[in-house]
Amino acid sequence: MKKIYCYRDTAIEYLFKDVETISYSAYGDIKLLNDDTDIMIFYMLPYDYSIKDLVSTINSYFERAKYIINNYPNRTIFAITLHNYFYESFVFGNNELEKAINSYNEYLYSQKNVRVIDIAPFYNNHNDVFNPKYYYLYNAIINPSLAKDFRRFILDKMALFRGTRKKCLILDLDNTLWGGILGEDGLANLQISGSYPGNCFHSFQQMVLELKNQGILLGICSKNNYNDVVLCFEKRDDLVLSLDDFAAKKINWSEKRLNISELAKELNIGLDSIVFIDDSPAERENVKALDGVTVLDFPDSPYKMVGHFAKDFYRYFGTYLLTEDDVNKNIYYKHKTESEELRSRVENEDEFIKKLKIKIAYETIDDNNSDRIAQLINKTNQFNLTTRRYDKTELANMTDALIIAIKVSDKFGDLGLTGVAIVRKNKEEATIDTFLMSCRILGRKIEREFLKIVLNELKILGVKTVIGEYIDSKKNEQTKTFYSDNGFRKVPNHSREVQRFKYTLTKPLKYNNNYIVEKKDGK
């Protein structure tokens, strides 16, 4: 975890016990730092029953927050919202305090370089968060007995900002997506809506559909007869989800851990990108044998399902902002399925690529694509030559680097922003710090054309020598020979971790005629 400096006005050290990466200002101090430490703004209302004093305090927080945020335009700043945890006005029609709190929180949300952590859910989900005993004894606004829970709450939120979101939710069907067993109870007797417990499964499906709409891939892994399941989705009009909402399906009588391995390959994602839900303890144990898959516990009563899984979904699928790529992800996988069907009908790979009519449009980083670029850098593992991670703020600070992204489309539709390269230039030499592509577009030799794009742009900038770096990881084995396969030669290097490859630029490289390559402005 990167170092964080916290601006505060009360005791909070006890909340982050053993988190050595967090340091603290003096109460109310707003001195500025000269290093690249991340920032946290964490103010909490004092236990005070004077509206005038409370509003005055909030106004002082407002001014401090503005000063801090304006002076760190290129830092990652985490800010905790204000929350009214105790005050109720004696004058019922006076909402001056609520207006002041809302104004402060809205300001935080309006700042592009601020990642806001809403503290309200923590108060809503815990009893006795504020205990006056500990306030008067230790100046502790949050109950010390909840310090561990609070620390986990904040750190989990911060992890979401780093782009650690899972990609896929795989579901069982019987007594998971609906109540009852299709093969035993029959289609008409499944509990999907109406009264209890059907209404619980109906609400659960609504929550799952919302995940799908936010870019999470859905899969089915069920021991059932395939045709029976298809008929169920066709005939039961009270199902919230349709069969088309699932990007991949394994409906058979095979071991579930084997089916999930095949689903991962079909979707071209790692096992550690998958979350699995099944009501059967035996099936959950079977899938736990797969290294990487997150297997969730199942509640003992249907009425607990939504509340139980909402917490898990938040933890594994939560994200601060949705990118255009997130929203369209299921469309992308539908395109992938269509393209694989085309592949099965042609004689060779070259013919397949030619028929796809692939277009590669490239652009440099800007305000419109920086969120997606940061997201891709932090979650791509398979085709990623160095797996170095950078957040949006760190990318903004790379003022001397060339950061190029590619957007890919084919005859079946737009595949989105799917490749990123970061190149650090030093006079006539440049080093490719980062070169990666989404698994979504692998198998089409696009990586070769992307590398040509990078080299040609460097040629225009006067670069004569290019160094490509490779760092071995558990997941990027397929990229090990990428540079040597594309005309780079390995060079000696003092680092055991980083392998280096050298390329001499002499003339512009020609793109393969099977691809249409364009710069963003069309030139």
Kindly report, residue by residue over 289-315, the tens digit of the pLDDT. Answer: 999 999 999 999 999 999 999 989 988
CATH number reported for the structural domain that contains residue 184 in this entry: 3.40.50.1000
Mean pLDDT of the chain: 92
CB-hemisphere CA count at 13 Å for 191? 15
Q: Are residues 41 and 123 in the same domain?
A: yes
The total number of structural domains in the chain stands at 3
Considering the entire predicted model, what is its pTM? Answer: 0.72
111 Cβ neighbours under 8 A, 6+ residues apart: 69, 77
CATH number reported for the structural domain that contains residue 93 in this entry: 3.40.50.1110
Q: Are residues 212 and 312 in the same domain?
A: yes
Q: Are residues 172 and 154 in the same domain?
A: no
Q: Are residues 242 and 261 in the same domain?
A: yes
Q: Are residues 411 and 278 in the same domain?
A: no
Given this model, what pLDDT does residue 171 score? 98
User: Do the domain assignments include residue 325?
Assistant: no
Q: Are residues 175 and 151 in the same domain?
A: no
Q: Are residues 383 and 503 in the same domain?
A: yes
pLDDT tops 90 at residue 263 = yes
Q: Quick: pLDDT tens for 134-178.
A: 999 988 999 999 999 999 999 888 877 766 689 999 999 999 999
- Identify the band that residue 385 occupies on the pLDDT scale cut at 50, 70 and 90: very high
Check if the beta carbon of residue 250 is closer than 8 Å to that of residue 148.
no
User: Do the domain assignments include residue 240?
Assistant: yes
Query: What is the Cα 40 distance to its own chain's centre?
Result: 21
Structural domain boundaries enclosing 60: 4-161
Q: Quick: pLDDT tens for 92-136.
A: 778 899 999 999 999 999 998 899 999 999 999 899 999 999 999
User: Do the domain assignments include residue 469?
Assistant: yes
Q: Are residues 313 and 447 in the same domain?
A: no
User: Do the domain assignments include residue 322?
Assistant: no
Given this model, what pLDDT does residue 1 score? 67
- Identify the band that residue 523 occupies on the pLDDT scale cut at 50, 70 and 90: very low
Q: Are residues 192 and 138 in the same domain?
A: no
Q: Which of 317, 334, 365 is the last residue of a domain?
A: 317
Start-to-end CA span in the chain (Å):
42
Sheet with 114-117, side-by-side order of all strands: 22-24, 4-8, 38-42, 77-80, 114-117
Cis amide linkage into residue 197, ω under 30° from 0: yes
CATH number reported for the structural domain that contains residue 458 in this entry: 3.40.630.30
More confident call, 163 vs 262: 262
User: Do the domain assignments include residue 336?
Assistant: no
